[in-house]
Amino acid sequence: MAGYFGGLIDAFLSRLMDLIWSFPLYLLAISIATVLLASQNGLHVWFLTIAAASLWVPTLIIGVVYVPYVARPIRGQVLSVREKEFVEAARGLGASHWRMMLGEILPNIASTVIVLFPLMIATTILTESALSFLSIGVQAPGASWGTIIDDGQNLLYTRPWVAIAPGIMIVLTVLALNVLGDGLRDALDPRAKVRAK
């Protein structure tokens, strides 16, 4: 919406993204988690209640913190695509704003969204593991690579694989998702292909 409509909507959403982006990532995540975990009855927003030990706490933190990382590239793509001839033709034919956003612009930025998807999953895995290691993410009965590393920290001299194995799995998973994202970018970007004769 920010890239398509521009004007006040773009200014408001861009400043909101700048505000979220201005905080250090883990400091903002720790602050949000502290607020959510400090209330004993959980967080009440309209009809939604999030318990203090719920898996929704790290999900909400990651969702809020990483919105600007996805919004900026997508906004840039929309700004580029909205000036193309086919959008002008759809506008000339009387298409509504929603029809142009969903029917014309969204399919043309889908490759950017598809490329960002595995890269953001890798980033959220790292963030969730870090939050769980700091005892802010997944809580006690639940298991996470971060909580396993935290539990294995006391066992480094007797059983080091308790902490080393989840660390290796985090590295391999994030590396595989980054390679997947790079491969998708190369496959979906027609300008990046080198044609050999």
What angle do the packed helices 25-38 and 106-133 form, to 10 degrees? 70
Indicate whether 53 belongs to any domain.
yes
DSSP output for 27-79: HHHHHHHHHHHHSTT-EEETTEEE-TT-THHHHHHHHHHTHHHHHHHHHHHHH
* Predicted confidence (pLDDT) at residue 109 exceeds the cutoff of 50: yes
C-alpha distance from residue 162 to each of 74, 127, 141, 169 (Å): 40, 20, 17, 12
116-125 pLDDT, tens digit per residue, is 899 899 999 9
- Residue 50 in domain: yes
Q: Measure Cα distances from 100 to 38, 60, 78, 107 in Å.
A: 45, 30, 11, 10
| pLDDT on residue 196 | 43
Inside any domain, residue 29? yes
Q: Is residue 173 part of a domain?
A: yes
40 within 8 A of 31, measured Cβ to Cβ? no
In a domain, 141, yes or no: yes
Angle (CA) 24-30-35 rounded to 5° is 125
Specify the pTM.
0.78
Q: What is the mean pLDDT of residues 60-67?
A: 83
Q: Is residue 197 part of a domain?
A: no
Which pLDDT does position 164 carry in this prediction?
92
Q: How many domains does the chain have?
A: 1
Domain that holds residue 122: 2-192
The band of 197, judged by pLDDT with boundaries at 50, 70 and 90, is: very low
Q: With respect to residue 90, please indicate whether it lies within any of the assigned structural domains.
A: yes
User: Residue 166: which pLDDT band, with cuts at 50, 70 and 90?
Assistant: very high
CATH number at 52 reads 1.10.3720.10
pLDDT at 142 over 90: no
